Amino acid sequence: MWQLIFKIKTMSKRIAIIGGGNLGSAIADGLIQSEFSRPVELTVTRRNPSSLSRFAEQGCMIHSDNKRAVKESDIIILAVKPYNFADIIREIKVVFNPKKHVVVSVITGVWIEQLQEAIGKPVPVIRAMPNTAIAIQQSMTCLAHSGASVSQLNYIQQLFDQLGKTVMIDEKLMDAATILGACGTAYAMRYIRANIQGGIEIGFDAATASLIAAQTVKGAAELLLQKGTHPEQEIDKVTTPKGCTIAGLNEMEHQGFSSSLIRGIITSYKKIAKD
Ligand SMILES: NC(=O)c1ccc[n+]([C@@H]2O[C@H](COP(=O)([O-])OP(=O)(O)OC[C@H]3O[C@@H](n4cnc5c(N)ncnc54)[C@H](OP(=O)(O)O)[C@@H]3O)[C@@H](O)[C@H]2O)c1
C-alpha cells in the first residue's frame, strides 16, 4: 500500500535531465528501471538528441530545448560538464521559478553557492555526487543541499535511494565524496582487472576469471554492507595460520598494496582540490 502511495506521489513530479550524456542517461535509465518515474514524466536534453532515441522509444521527451524542458518540469537535474555549466544557466535561468523548481546538480566541482549566484533566484539547490552504477540502481550517491525544504530533500533522497544508496554530507566533503564514491568505481575496476590478469596466469580463461573476480568482489562488498563488519574481521575468517591467503596478502602489502591505494586516493583528491 505504502509503495502504491509513494508511486502515485512520484508520478506527479516531472523531471528534466539537462545533459543526457553518460551520467544523465544513466540517471534516466535508473529512474525508468526502478519505476520511480514513468517515461512520460521524464525529459532528457542534449544538443544532439538523436543519440537519445532509445529514451524516446520508451516514451520520454528528448530534445535540445533546455528552457522548454525546465518550464515543463519540477525537478531539474543538471548533468553537463563543468565547462558547460555557466552557458546552460545563462540560457535557462529566466524560466526558473523558485516556488516550483528544485535544482539537482551532479556537476563535479561546481558549488551550491556558485549555482545559486548564477541562477540569481532563491531556487533550492541540491548537489548530488552519484557514480556510474546508477544505471543499474547500485550507485553510492552523496547529497548536500542549500535552501531545500525537508519534503523537497526527502523527495530527492528518495529519488536517489531508488538508484542505490545515499548519504547526506556537508558540502565541504563533496570533493572527497567525488574521489571515494565516483572515482572509486574506476579504482575498483582496476582492482578487479588485476585479479582477472592474475586469474588467467593461474589457469582460468578470461571469461571465467572475470566472472569469479567480479562476483567475489561483489560478495565481499555485500558482506560489509549487510553485516556491518570491518574488513579485517572478514579477512580473519579467510586467513588460516601459515596459509596461502595470508602469504599472498602479506606479499601484496610488502609491494605497497594498501599504501598505493591510499596514495592514489590522496593524489586524486589533491588534483580535484587544485583544479
Ligand atoms: N561519469 C561519472 O561517473 C560522474 C559521476 C559524478 C558526477 N559526474 C559529473 O556529471 C557531469 C556529466 O558527466 P558525464 O560523464 O555524463 O559527461 P558527458 O557524457 O560528456 O555528458 C554531458 C552531456 O551534456 C550535454 N550537453 C552539453 N551542452 C549542452 C547543452 N547546451 N544543452 C544540453 N545538453 C548539453 C552533452 O551532449 P551534447 O554534446 O550532445 O550537447 C553531453 O551528452 C559532469 O559534470 C561530471 O563531472 C560524472
Q: How far is CA 26 from CA 17, 99, 255, in A?
A: 11, 28, 37
130 within ligand 1 shell (Cβ under 6 A) = yes
Question: Contact, 39 vs 55, CB < 8 A?
Answer: yes
pLDDT for res 10: 46
**Residues 164-173 pLDDT 10s:** 999 999 999 9
C-alpha cell at 102: 528544485
SS3 21: coil
Atom of ligand 1 nearest to the CA of 47: 41
Question: Contact, 176 vs 269, CB < 8 A?
Answer: yes
Lowest mean pLDDT of 30-39, 64-73, 79-88, 207-216, name the range. 30-39
pLDDT for res 8: 46
24 within ligand 1 shell (Cβ under 6 A) = yes
DSSP 63-124: ES-HHHHHHT-SEEEE-S-GGGHHHHHHHHGGG--TTT-EEEE--TT--HHHHHHHH-S---
pLDDT for res 81: 96
Distance 155 CA to ligand 1 centre (A): 23
Atom of ligand 1 nearest to the CA of 130: 6
Ligand 1 probe mutation, 45, 46, 132, most atoms within 8 A of CB: 46
Judged against a pLDDT cut of 70, whether residue 39 lies above it is answered with: yes
pLDDT for res 228: 96
Judged against a pLDDT cut of 90, whether residue 191 lies above it is answered with: yes
Atom of ligand 1 nearest to the CA of 129: 6
pLDDT for res 3: 53
Distance 19 CA to ligand 1 centre (A): 5
16 within ligand 1 shell (Cβ under 6 A) = no
Atom of ligand 1 nearest to the CA of 26: 16
Type and span of the H or E element at 43: strand 42-45
**Residues 56-102 pLDDT 10s:** 999 999 999 999 999 999 999 999 999 999 999 999 999 999 999 99
* pLDDT band for position 274 (cuts 50, 70, 90): confident
Atom of ligand 1 nearest to the CA of 109: 47
46 within ligand 1 shell (Cβ under 6 A) = yes
Distance 191 CA to ligand 1 centre (A): 26
Tell me the CB-side half-sphere exposure of residue 36, using CA atoms within 13 A.
Answer: 21
Mean pLDDT, the chain, as a whole number?
93
Atom of ligand 1 nearest to the CA of 132: 3
Find, among 48, 90, 50, 41, the residue nearest to 69 by Cα: 41
Percent of the chain with pLDDT over 70: 96
43 within ligand 1 shell (Cβ under 6 A) = no
Ligand 1 probe mutation, 17, 23, 83, 160, most atoms within 8 A of CB: 23
